[in-house]
A and B are shown apart, each in its own frame.
Chain A
């Protein structure tokens, strides 16, 4: 079975590339990165601010199961609707440095599109550290989400 979300990374390089095919018109896919209430839903976060424009800033806040709040933020450097977003990403109050993200939106047909997201880390070491993080966070998030979904079924 082919994976819908693919990650390509090379051992000695400090970046990685995530690609995803969506059964969505490009305009709709782009909206999912621009409208705060939609971003909040699929990212599973509160959106404190999201200025979807060149030099606009964004800031997200998540609450972990222990009630601690974590903030993530960045600045948008390039913003071309339905084509690309270039932005920084930072986990506030952590020793991890800023990373750079290049998001490219591609129209495949009227009803399908592809997102490519290249993430560049400060160093190879930082990339490896960051990849270790979601293994901890991702599992938690998956559990939380599963819980939410199950609860909503009740």
Chain B
């Protein structure tokens, strides 16, 4: 099994990206994560399982609850944070330039 490819597949899914997005702000229990989605809880659990399996997300037992948080090392390994941010601005600015050129 190609683990690295799996990581990219993991982040290619919009629900899983949304989960990572939420966990970027704070660690959360599976229940709290599931409550943020319209999908069935089992579907969300499966997404969390995939993220945990490829180590993008880590578990932390707190009393009876398991909390999930991002694994920053793994995230860094997989994604250069700056590049997507740069691309987002590049797209916006490309569009800006196109629109304004039509005004000349």
Contacts and interface: CB of A to CB of B under 8 A. Distances in A.
Interface of A: 3-7, 9, 18, 20, 22-25, 28-29, 31-32, 38, 41-44, 65-66, 94-96, 115, 128-129, 131-142, 145
A28 B14 CA distance: 36
Given A137-B88, A139-B17, 15 more contacts: A7-B85, A7-B86, A7-B89, A22-B97, A38-B99, A42-B92, A42-B93, A43-B92, A132-B24, A135-B79, A135-B81, A135-B85, A136-B18, A138-B84, A142-B91
Interface residues on B, range: 35 or more
Contacts of B97: 22-24
B34 to A, nearest CB: 15
B100 A31 contact: yes
A116 B97 CA distance: 15
Q: Which 5 A-B pairs have the closest CB atoms?
A: A138-B88, A5-B90, A42-B96, A131-B81, A136-B21
Given A23-B101, A65-B14, A95-B25, A132 B20 contact: yes
B70 interface: yes
B61 interface: no
B79 A22 contact: no
A31 B103 contact: yes
B89 A129 contact: no
A49 B11 CA distance: 34
Contacts of B49: none
A131 B14 contact: no
Q: What is the predominant secondary structure among interface residues of chain B facing chain A?
A: helix
Given A28-B100, A136-B17, A20 B93 contact: yes
Interface string B61-79: 0000000001010010001
B93 A5 contact: yes
A145 B79 CA distance: 22
A137 B93 CA distance: 16
A3 B79 contact: no
Given A31-B100, A132-B20, A132-B75, A138 B85 contact: yes
